[in-house]
Structure formats: C-alpha cells, structure tokens
Structure 1
C-alpha cells in the first residue's frame, strides 16, 4: 500500500455552513475496558475510516483490514466480508485509535485534503474508480456540502425578479426548498397537510417503518448519527424531517393546509399561475416564474373497484388513510393485499384481533433481514455519538454496499428460458430466497405453496424479512386467502370459491396509483396544452424531470426516477433537486425567461430508459406490478446505476433545451 500523508485543503467554493447539531460529538472520558467493549458491536470498516480521519492516521487503513466486499446476493456480508481474523485485528486497531483520540482530548485532526478523503474512500470501496469519487464526496459531505449550488442569484442576476412554487413539503420538496434557499431564489412551498413529511406524515398505520437502511435514508446535507434502529419507525423519520425543516429555516416559506388544484402557463408573460385551495375552501392565486412538483409517486391510494363495496356494514379504509378511531381489539379484520404496507400491518395487529384474514393476489419475495426490528447495539450507538463523523462514514458505507445493490440479480437475459427467473443471477437469487422461505415454513407445506411467489424476484418490490411474516401467518386465528375476491357483502368478503369471510373491518393495503403522475392537478402548458391529455396515462419526461411544451416545470420523483433494488428515494430526490436548481441558474445567467426540453431530447431519453427497463426483471415478467403503467410500460423505475443518474444531473445539457424570452 502506498503511504499517504493526511493534509489540509482550502475551502471548496460550494462550502456552506452546516447546522452544528447534526455533527456534534461528545468527548470520550471512558476507560480502556469500555472502549474495547464498545468496538465489539461496531461496523468496523466505517469505524476505521472515521478514526483514520479523526486522528489523521492513514496507518489504520492497512491492506489486511480492507473489506473485500463480496458480491451481494440475498443477504449483505457482515463487515463487508472481512474474515474473523481481520475483524479481530480491526477491533484491536480501532480500540487503540479510540484511546489515542481520547488521550489527546477528543479533538479531531485538521480539515483533510481531497486526496486524504479519497484515500479513505478507496479503502472502503475497494478502490472505486475516479468516476465515482465526485458522487462519493457528495454522499459523504466532508468537508463541504457538494450538492450546494456554486452560485447565488445575487451574483448572477441581482436585478431579475424570479420566484418558484414548490408543490409538497415531503422529502423531495424540502430538498428543493433547501437548495433554492442556498441559491438565494425566492420560493414558496404549498403543502396540503398541516405538517411537513409527506408520506411519513400521512401514513400512521400500525408497524409503519422504513425498509431502506435509514442512515442512507437521510439527506446528504443533514446527516444524523443517532438513529435508534437500522430501519426506523415512521415516528422517527417524521421527527427527523420536521427537524430538518426547522433547522434549515424552511418553515417560514411553507403554506400549510393549502392544496394546489391547477397550474397554467401564460405564453405572453412566460409565467405560471398557481391556483390553490385551503382546507376551508378559500381559493388563492399565485404567479411564479417556475414550478417544482414534489408530490411523490406513492400518494394517491389505489382502492380496487369491488362489487358491493358500498354495502359493507363495517369500517373500511386504505392503509395510507388509517382510521385511528377504530379499536381493532377483538374484531374480525380483513387485510387486502400482501405488499409493503400489509407486510408491516399484519404482524402488528395479529395479537390484538379476534381473527385476521389476509387476502393475497401475489405472494411477496422476502429478503432475509434478521435485524429488521432490532435496536442499534449499545456499543455502536455510543460510538456514533462519540467518534467524529462516524455517522457520516457509516451512512457512506451503507450507501456504497447498496449503491448498485442487487441490480445484477434483476437482469433480464433475452436468451434465458428457465421458468420463474430472468437470468442466471436472478435464478440464483430465487434459489436463495426459496431456501430461506422453506426453512421458515418447515412442516407447513400448504402455507409454503401459498407463500411461494409465481414470478421472478425483483419483478415486484421485495420485502425485508426477519421471520415475522411467516410466524404470523402460521397462527391459528390467521388465514392466508389466495382465492380471488368476487364481491363485498354487508357481512364481509366473498371469494370466487363461494366462501363468505365475515369481518368487521376491511383494510385495503393495495398500494397506490403510482403511474398517475401529478393527478389530480390540472396542468396546462404552452398553447393551452393539457399535460394529462398529452400523456394519455403514459407519463414521459426528459431526465424524468422536464417536459416539452411545459416551460420551467420541473418534476421531482417524476417518471422513471424511482429506484427499487439500489439506493433510496432521498438520493434520487436530491439529484433531481440539484439539477433543477442548475437549470434555473443557466436560465438566470442567460437572462432568459423560460427553459424547456426539445421533444427529440425527451424521446431519445425515454427510448434509452425503456430499452434499459426491458433488460430488467420488472420490464419482462408477466405479473401485475406498480412499476408499470396500464400499457405495460415501466414508467416508475430507473434501470441504470446511481452513478449514471448522478452524472446526468450535475450540469444541464443545454443542447437538449430551448431557452426563450428575455428578461429586461
């Protein structure tokens, strides 16, 4: 290994002040025995990285301690695949480094150079290529906020009045608000709810929590070290998002309880008219230069049209509109659906209800995740609070090991013919998942038959499994019903086999109308063109963000920007928000009023994405999935790497756009 000396570096021009409480650390005063015990539960690769930085000691990153990072399959190799002997050595090295850090007063070393940080990153990433380094710096955020705009409106266009409307104060809306605020652009956020958080404010169903490791499910500009669990509860996520809104002073720009009903572009002035309505029916009009939609993909409930549903005598609601006034104790409950929300609801209510009937159309594939509900071990939690930037390095580590995640396992090989899979890798993943399922259901062949998916893994969302789903369905008062639903009667649900399942409450855990982008907002663009009529139910956008004939309209979490086996929604939202702000920067520098993509650029982009999706399991499998719209086209999912989306969203390709209208 080439010796490296850690040196300081000058401030990056994008650097901005970060609120201190996200990076605050407590001094270490504990004795040697305590420190040696704490490292027993540490995530070692990230800890070595953090201590190498804190002590400015690259010798901690010895080749024999470098995580080998074996390919991911159904599970992630603990400690990056380090051998038992390497882990033992790493704990010894880490404990000694902790003692050294304590003994010199718990004072971190001077700000590192880019070269020093790159050396640590390459240790963790098994020598990531130079192409990856800008992305990795963005995700780490040391020493600077690399997603911040490198310009301010006061510098590029101080005399131009320019304002932006953001629709939604969820994860993507707040990312956009923060970046606009950094650029000094006037903005207002319209939020139909009474608090920030979007889906994390709305969904209050029992058991609601993340199924993405939540260190990676956090903003690059607001990294949090004291998460209590790896997969945090809804309350933890909502509290974090509220804290971000307060800490970064976003709240004064949010108009709560205000829903946007229509957007209309005016050709003469080159501005958008935003029509809103408050909860008490007060209508408002606002004129802005640009609009950013941040309404998410999964926010309009999908309630199936079942004959007789209106006749049901009991209570009935969608999982995202959970009726908190209903006490399920001692009731007979039906949960329709076995997707992500049902997977959390069913085990959470099974111990309360008299009888539980779970209606399944397609069984879910489940990824073994033994610690899904577990707290972060005490020693690890202590280290996160006391080692400078350990939380950042741990988030970085989580990001990297899942950066391209299971993409190789959802390949669709056109020459592959084995039933139930789409490639050799996909078949291997299926084998591993079936082995996991069979072990849980030993002695229950009937349930194993019902719970074995009939489609390739990855065609639908895969769920985190710590055994709770199988354990719940094996209980005597729980039925897994796989016969189709024929009708709802006043007494319950009748299936196609003629059986009436009598219930008191029906919960629809049937997902969302994911392909109905921006519904029910009426949106008219240049020449009065209606966006929804133009799409005809088949949403398309250049970069998943902009649409021809709709100048200065930017969509976050737009068509084909969802990730389902790699990364998180926050990553894609941040990339799109940063791209949007750069588009506005180009507009202001050119002193032009409007920016809009060429139709040819959108078509070329969508054709390439469509071709990519046809090489993924979800693009070819014969199963109903929200990844595809009613035409069978995958309009939700990004089929390529996270690196590619990052690179595409750094600088707008102006050859793909028309910039029109002059500011005087």
Structure 2
C-alpha cells in the first residue's frame, strides 16, 4: 500500500450506501485538466485532501469565502478567479497522485484532519464543526448513531416504543432505534412506506431542493441521476433505505393510530390502532414517537356547489395516475409548489387550462431544475474516493447560512409591505426583473405574476422558466378573480365568468399547523393534546410536550426550514433526541421523562422572538407558516447548527423524571 492509503480503513461506517472502493483513474493529464476545469472546487479539494492524507494545500487563501447568496449561488462558494486558478492547479496535481499511486479507498480521518477540512469548507466557522461531523462519514466522531445499546443499559427490562409513520421522519427514527437495539414497533396507516413521496404522484412531481441536500446522513446515495430528483427516485431511495436498514420488514402496514392514553401507574401508553377494514387493536407501549408529517392533510377549500361537479376532481396529493387529462379542459386551483410542477407538466397536452391564482409565487432562479447530474460529477463520484459524500457535505455547508440575510426585517422599513429590508428589496427587484423578461410581451400577465408580498414571506419556488412559458401558452388562462361557486360543469368566478372544465385539480396545499389531526392523545390527568394546545401547537425542540410523558414528535412544531438548512438533518436530530430521552429513562430506571412547562415557554419565546424578525413573521403577512392563532408554528428561524446544539443532550433542568 502507498503511504497515502495506510490510514485506518473504514469497515463499518454509519452509511447504508457506503462503497469501499472507487474506480481506478486511468485518464490522461489532458483529460484530468478538463475535469478539473468543470468541477466544484471546494468539494473536490476536500475530497482530495482526505484521499491523499494531505491537508496542507487547504490554506487560508484557498478557502471559499461563502459569499452570501441573494438569489443565485456563487460558483465555488464565491472563490475569486485567482483562487479558482490556484485551486485547479492543486486539484490537478492531487488527481494525478490518485492515479499514479493507485489510491482508490477512503480512510478514516484523524481529528486534526477533520478539523482542518471542516474549517476549510466552513471558511473558519469552527462553531459549525459539531453539526457537520454529524454528516461526515469519515469523521472519527460522527455523532448521529447512538453510542449505546439497550442490552447494555437495560438488560431484561420490558420496554417497547411505538413509531407512527414510515415516511422520511419515521424511517429516520426507526433506523436509529434499531441501531440502539431499543425494542419498537412501527405502524403505517397506508399499504406502502414513503409518506408524502408515496402519496404525491402527480405529473411533474420532484424535489424543489437540490437532491444532495435531501438525503439522510446515514444513507448517502452517490449516483443520483437528477440535480433535483423526481418523485419516483425519492420513493425508490426511501424503499432502499428501509430494506438496507432492516426496517422494511418491521413495518405494520394498514395500521392507523387512533388514540393513545397515558397510564401513569403502568408507566405506559395504551394505544389503539385500526386497520383499513375497521378492526381495532389495543396495545401498551412505554413510549410513542409520532412521525406523521406536516404536509400530509390536504387543504381543499369549501366552495359552494362543490359536490355537484360531474367531472373529475382531485387534490394533488391524491392524484390518481389513471386520471384522464389528455385533451381535456382542466382547471388548476392554486399557484403553489404542486401547481408549479403540474401546470408545466400537462399544459401542452390539454385542450384548455385555467389556472386560478389567489396570490402569485416568488421563484428563485434554478436553471438546472430539470437537468441531470453532469458527466464530470458522475466521473468524480466514481473515481475520487468519497467525492459525492464530500459534495453532499459542501451542499450542507452552503445551506447553513442560507438566505437568512435576505429575509430579516428592518424595523420601520419604508418599503413594507412589499419588502422588509434593503437587501430584501434588492431581491425583489432582481426577481421582478427576471419576471419582466419571462413575461415580455404579456403585460396583463406580468402584473399578476409579480407577488404583492415580500420575497421569502411565503415558500419560494424554483424557476427555470417553465412556469412563465406555461402561463403564456395559447391554451392557458390565468384567472385572478376569486372563485364564487362550482357548478356541475365548471367554475364560476366573482366577476360572473363561467369556466367550463372537465377536470379540477386542487393544488391548494395542506393544513400543516393541525398537528396530529384525527388522533386522540391523552396525557397526564386525561388531558387531550389538542385541548392543551388550543389551536397553538407547541413542543420543546419540536419534540416533547409538557404533560405527555415519553411522547415524542418527529417533525413537530417549529422545526421546518425554508431559507436555510436541511430538513433531513432536522428530522434525524428529532429522532435522535427522542432516543436520548429514552436512554435517560432506561439508565435512571424510571418510568418516563416529562418536559417542564417553563422549558417549553422559554423555547417558544426564543423561537417566536426570532420568527418575528423574519419576513414571514411580519404582521401584514399571511402564510401557511402561521396557525389559526396567527403564530408562526411551522418554521425554524435559526440554522441547523442551533438545532444540533439544542438536541445534542437532554438537559436535566428541563425535565421531570417520573419514577
């Protein structure tokens, strides 16, 4: 073996997609120069430093400056042309070394190497290191997997947890519980795993975040075909994760949670589940972990005459793949994330389409939205040890600061309610300019295409021009008059226009603030959780609720990110936090943990104070981020780093320990 390949080789990494070997590099110097010229330099330099065991070239003058991103990301994290030129020379020399020395295997990094590479990628932000280690396979202290086993801390104890749901959140929790050896059952109300990605099968469905930012730290797939993965690719990924983790065979399909009631004497939850056929079963579990999602309950507005419609009506999440829309007259109600995908996907094949808009969406430029991964990326993933995982980490680094600087409100800003700060106004001006180009020659459409609220106040979509192209098609009409009623043959708007249609697509979103809707959860003293919330769902770290011992939520209130960070990271950390709480129960030999009300109040005030500083928290903004009380109950207004810190340990001062 060469000197560069004699480190500790990984044998059991915490990655279900781990590959021991890369392919050998056989390309000529000329070909390597071409590849380096098109590569993403920070990710490549980090990968090469790790593979060659030489971090000396990650000097300060090569650090990506992480220039704040307003609308479009800066190539190589904002590296200057001079930095890029030098970086390519360094990368070329290191690639030749991989080739000439036959280096094809990844090594476990030392702590010093890990620190050096993370400081390089993070431009000196050492406070990010703990969170980034959670995502880095090669770190000697990767901190996501449990470092304990049930049999070591509670051998012989009768203890079983229930995980509810087998979507992205449920699979993450189940994998960690399985790693710790904690006995658990996992139930799924439908007949398939995958949650929202099994349910959403409408035409055009795909991610609106980059694919490599939408994967688990413990399942880092490297061969994604699309830069923004299509829906079926995410489904297949989740199915593979479930199989490789051993969770797939444990899922009890067709079993919906109906109710759970805490029995303080037994220290357990009495849980009632129901099959699709209506058969109910009552079982006891010592802990309940709900992973039922936020964007899961369809929101279908109640229009007069709705039931009289004789055509086909379908919500985007409940799309029947047998729906016949070809050559038909189609109405799409809504202009949010699903409509943005459905409308361009089918408009060319319909006779006529009417898009009903209540408010226009802001869209961030994403020229690669429908493009495959590049040939150079594929080569690097195959030939450079661990490159794709380093690229994923680089995407994670870029997502930490995100675009928070563009949505933070300035007090008494005169541009309100159209913008919230000078930087936010700059973003508005740039996005408006782009819309002006896209709708050139269509002034009537343009005036309806520019939103009347600040950028970032609502979810921003990805824009590669297909939305404007669809709306300016001859067979598409944008209708902004409110819907008055639905008739047997169509839709009547407030101005009296009757639009005759054969198909109505409700792209009207969900009811994300109505957590655990349809499930009865009774905690101590028989208090039901929805009564305790009274329309304002709150949970400490988005996970625990006072008065509900050993009850944990994954993807609970206030943990959704919209301008920064990784949702997968947030979900993993919530599941890991629940597991840490259960470890406390087991090691202390107690029945349960119950978060204290004052801890929750402190957490909510912290989150609320920051949310009030954001575009979505301004009093003149109305968005699905808010609940019926007007409180922003969905959004995490901090970075992933703060959530890593908040969930790294269970503070005994925040909990009561029930013996």
**Is the alpha carbon distance of 1:456 and 1:621 closer, same or farther for their aligned partners in structure 2, counting shifts above 3 Å?**
farther
Report deviation, 1:142. Answer: 1.6
**Structure 2 matches for 1:633-648, cutoff 5 A?**
633-648=631-646
Report deviation, 1:285. Answer: 2.0
Give me the whole-angstrom Cα distance separating, in 2, the residues matched to 1:644 and 1:475: 45
Contact 2:21 2:104 in 1 (8 A): no
Q: Which runs of 5+ in 2 are unaligned?
A: none
Per the normalisation by structure 2, the TM-score is: 0.96
Report deviation, 1:24. Answer: 4.9
**Is the alpha carbon distance of 1:201 and 1:451 closer, same or farther for their aligned partners in structure 2, counting shifts above 3 Å?**
same
User: Aligned to 1:385, what secondary structure does the other structure show?
Assistant: helix
Q: Which runs of 5+ in 1 are unaligned?
A: none
Contact 2:242 2:248 in 1 (8 A): yes
Say if 2:471 is the partner of 1:473.
yes
Aligned to 2:395: 398
**Is the alpha carbon distance of 1:64 and 1:635 closer, same or farther for their aligned partners in structure 2, counting shifts above 3 Å?**
same
Aligned to 2:113: 116
User: Aligned to 1:246, what secondary structure does the other structure show?
Assistant: helix
Give me the whole-angstrom Cα distance separating, in 2, the residues matched to 1:491 and 1:622: 37
Find 2:281's aligned residue among 281, 284, 287.
284
**Is the alpha carbon distance of 1:258 and 1:154 closer, same or farther for their aligned partners in structure 2, counting shifts above 3 Å?**
same
Aligned to 1:652: 650
Give me the whole-angstrom Cα distance separating, in 1, the residues matched to 2:430 and 2:454: 12
Give me the whole-angstrom Cα distance separating, in 1, the residues matched to 2:627 and 2:240: 36
Aligned to 2:37: 40
**Is the alpha carbon distance of 1:9 and 1:275 closer, same or farther for their aligned partners in structure 2, counting shifts above 3 Å?**
farther
Find 1:237's aligned residue among 234, 239, 254.
234
User: Aligned to 1:235, what secondary structure does the other structure show?
Assistant: helix
Aligned to 2:379: 382
Report deviation, 1:16. Answer: 5.5
Aligned to 2:294: 297
Aligned to 2:453: 455
Report deviation, 1:17. Answer: 5.3
Report deviation, 1:538. Answer: 1.2
Report deviation, 1:38. Answer: 2.6
Give me the whole-angstrom Cα distance separating, in 2, the residues matched to 1:609 and 1:92: 45
User: Aligned to 2:373, what secondary structure does the other structure show?
Assistant: coil
User: Aligned to 2:134, what secondary structure does the other structure show?
Assistant: helix
1:584-610 CA distance string (max 9 Å, x none): 111111111111111121122112211
Contact 1:26 1:385 in 2 (8 A): yes
Give me the whole-angstrom Cα distance separating, in 2, the residues matched to 1:59 and 1:108: 20
Say if 2:410 is the partner of 1:413.
yes
Say if 2:138 is the partner of 1:138.
no
Give me the whole-angstrom Cα distance separating, in 2, the residues matched to 1:555 and 1:77: 37
Higher mean displacement: 449-458 or 87-96: 87-96
User: Aligned to 2:281, what secondary structure does the other structure show?
Assistant: strand
**Is the alpha carbon distance of 1:71 and 1:21 closer, same or farther for their aligned partners in structure 2, counting shifts above 3 Å?**
closer
Say if 2:340 is the partner of 1:340.
no
1:233-279 CA distance string (max 9 Å, x none): 11111111111111111112211121111111112211012211122
Aligned to 1:522: 520
User: Aligned to 1:142, what secondary structure does the other structure show?
Assistant: coil
1:373-406 CA distance string (max 9 Å, x none): 1111111111112211111111111111121211
Give me the whole-angstrom Cα distance separating, in 1, the residues matched to 2:32 and 2:267: 62
Higher mean displacement: 135-144 or 56-65: 56-65
Aligned to 2:244: 247
Say if 2:51 is the partner of 1:54.
yes
Aligned to 1:260: 257
Contact 2:39 2:377 in 1 (8 A): yes
Contact 2:17 2:219 in 1 (8 A): no
**Is the alpha carbon distance of 1:269 and 1:532 closer, same or farther for their aligned partners in structure 2, counting shifts above 3 Å?**
same
**Structure 2 matches for 1:164-183, cutoff 5 A?**
164-183=161-180
Contact 2:167 2:291 in 1 (8 A): yes
1:271-321 CA distance string (max 9 Å, x none): 012211122222222211000000110000000000011011100010000
Give me the whole-angstrom Cα distance separating, in 2, the residues matched to 1:586 and 1:184: 15
Aligned to 1:70: 67
1:25-45 CA distance string (max 9 Å, x none): 322233333333333332111
Aligned to 1:127: 124
Say if 2:533 is the partner of 1:540.
no
Report deviation, 1:57. Answer: 2.1
Give me the whole-angstrom Cα distance separating, in 2, the residues matched to 1:26 and 1:577: 36
Higher mean displacement: 415-424 or 179-188: 415-424
Find 2:553's aligned residue among 546, 552, 555.
555
Contact 1:22 1:225 in 2 (8 A): no
User: Aligned to 1:263, what secondary structure does the other structure show?
Assistant: strand
**Structure 2 matches for 1:186-197, cutoff 5 A?**
186-197=183-194
Report deviation, 1:623. Answer: 3.6
User: Aligned to 1:260, what secondary structure does the other structure show?
Assistant: strand
**Is the alpha carbon distance of 1:16 and 1:286 closer, same or farther for their aligned partners in structure 2, counting shifts above 3 Å?**
farther
Give me the whole-angstrom Cα distance separating, in 1, the residues matched to 2:52 and 2:13: 24
Contact 1:187 1:253 in 2 (8 A): no
Report deviation, 1:87. Answer: 2.7
CA RMSD across the alignment: 2.0
Contact 1:313 1:490 in 2 (8 A): yes
Give me the whole-angstrom Cα distance separating, in 1, the residues matched to 2:353 and 2:85: 47
**Structure 2 matches for 1:292-371, cutoff 5 A?**
292-371=289-368
Give me the whole-angstrom Cα distance separating, in 2, the residues matched to 1:110 and 1:603: 45
Give me the whole-angstrom Cα distance separating, in 1, the residues matched to 2:195 and 2:19: 22
Say if 2:218 is the partner of 1:221.
yes
User: Aligned to 2:505, what secondary structure does the other structure show?
Assistant: strand
Say if 2:622 is the partner of 1:624.
yes
1:76-132 CA distance string (max 9 Å, x none): 101212233433443333233222112222333643211112111111211112x22
1:450-469 CA distance string (max 9 Å, x none): 00100111111000101111
Contact 1:175 1:577 in 2 (8 A): yes
Per the normalisation by structure 1, the TM-score is: 0.95
**Is the alpha carbon distance of 1:258 and 1:589 closer, same or farther for their aligned partners in structure 2, counting shifts above 3 Å?**
same
**Is the alpha carbon distance of 1:453 and 1:462 closer, same or farther for their aligned partners in structure 2, counting shifts above 3 Å?**
same
Give me the whole-angstrom Cα distance separating, in 2, the residues matched to 1:470 and 1:196: 35
Contact 1:7 1:112 in 2 (8 A): no
**Is the alpha carbon distance of 1:265 and 1:494 closer, same or farther for their aligned partners in structure 2, counting shifts above 3 Å?**
same
Find 2:574's aligned residue among 576, 584, 592.
576
Report deviation, 1:230. Answer: 1.6
Report deviation, 1:490. Answer: 0.9
Higher mean displacement: 460-469 or 605-614: 605-614
Aligned to 2:76: 79
